[in-house]
Copies of this chain bind each other. A is one copy, B any other.
Amino acid sequence: MTEDLLKPYVIGLDLGGTNSVFGIVDSRGEIKATTAIKTQGYGNNVQAYVDAAVEALQIIIDQVGGISKIKAMGIGAPNGNYYNGTIEFAPNLEWGRDGVVPLAKLFSDKLGIPVALTNDANAAAIGEMTYGVARGMKNFIVITLGTGVGSGIVVNGQLVYGCDGFAGELGHVIVKENGRDCGCGRKGCLETYCSATGVARSAREFLANSDEPSLLRELDPEKITSYDVSMAAAKGDKIALDIYEFTGRLLGESCANFAAFSSPEAFIFFGGLTKAGALIMDPIKKAYDENVLNIFKGKAKFLVSALEGSSAAVLGASAVGWDIQK
């Protein structure tokens, strides 16, 4: 057994637009220590961000016995490029907005351990494969339903990164010809319908296009959130239930097309919208069965992430750290 195999931990960093959350994680997915810093406040000085991060990290590294116990670090970050260890033109990061930031190298130089970086949805997929419901699976797709819609695709047991490190952008598959305007500059992307913000847009549309009474009419339409829709649906509100039906159907129809690509063993959903449970999962499964090619019928499982909760993203990121050792 080499010395390396005796190192029992990896560091996971869930790098979000607001907070950067760090965890030191063992091979079974137990978080041994955790800390956080603000992601912003360093202007465009990424080195200052890394210095502040490592200062905070050092405290929890010492708690677990020092850097000699740490095998690697994994980072899940917006616009993360796995091949280059870079964050590229990330609109929500003040130090990552205008170019290509070699974040993996900056952390690796400072800590003296290997560091890998990928986007948040890919980290979620590796997390599911390492600690979650995808253990033992070789072909599956994770779809993250958050502010946007992201995805991490695994084929033959490997993350699909494509020729440039950016594969797996299923939130930007166009599902409606001349559909809703998307932040990416195009129209009709899956994300414009099936993200949390998409659900809120649906609510405004559904309310405007019908006279049906609804609890949602008591709210300022411009301020309705997907959480409001879920609360109304839980009370049996017809329009809120119709919105989930609509959202789930679109997801199910989209998954039927994704099956023609990689015929996955499972679709795994991750993020806030999955809290609606059967309200969203039932129409997904129904629309999938109605739309998928015959040869794929009944083969794919529809699962909700087992890593839900605030630690999920850290676990996913840490799994990227284990992964670079393979």
Q: Does A158 contact B (CB under 8 A)?
A: yes
Select the stretch in A14-22, A41-49, A172-180, A235-243 that faces chain B. A172-180
Q: Does A97 contact B (CB under 8 A)?
A: no
Residues of B close to A253: CB separation below 8 A = 174
Per-residue interface assignment for chain A, residues 237 to 267, with 1 indicating a CB less than 8 Å from any chain B CB and 0 otherwise:
0000000000000000100111011111100
- Quick check: A296 and B258 within 8 Å, CB to CB? no
Complex Cα–Cα for A138 and B258 (A) = 21
Q: List 16 A-B contacts (CB under 8 A).
A: A139-B162, A160-B261, A161-B263, A162-B264, A163-B264, A165-B263, A166-B296, A167-B262, A173-B257, A173-B260, A173-B261, A174-B256, A174-B257, A174-B291, A261-B261, A261-B262
Per-residue interface assignment for chain A, residues 261 to 296, with 1 indicating a CB less than 8 Å from any chain B CB and 0 otherwise:
111110000000000000000000000000101111
- Quick check: B166 and A295 within 8 Å, CB to CB? yes
Max chain B C-beta neighbours (<10 A), residue from A169, A177, A253: A169
Residues of B close to A161: CB separation below 8 A = 156, 263
- Copy tally for this chain in the complex stands at 2
- A68 CB to nearest B CB, Å: 33
Number of interface residues of A (CB under 8 A): 42
Cβ-defined partner of A138 (8 Å) among B155, B163, B260: B163
Q: Does A153 contact B (CB under 8 A)?
A: yes
In the A-B complex, the 9 residue pairs with the smallest Cβ-Cβ separation, listed nearest first, are A162-B263, A167-B263, A163-B265, A169-B260, A139-B163, A172-B293, A173-B257, A167-B262, A155-B155
Cβ-defined partner of A185 (8 Å) among B156, B260, B263, B294: B294
Residue of chain B at shortest CB distance from A139: B163
- Quick check: A156 and B160 within 8 Å, CB to CB? yes
- Quick check: B163 and A155 within 8 Å, CB to CB? no
- A316 CB to nearest B CB, Å: 20
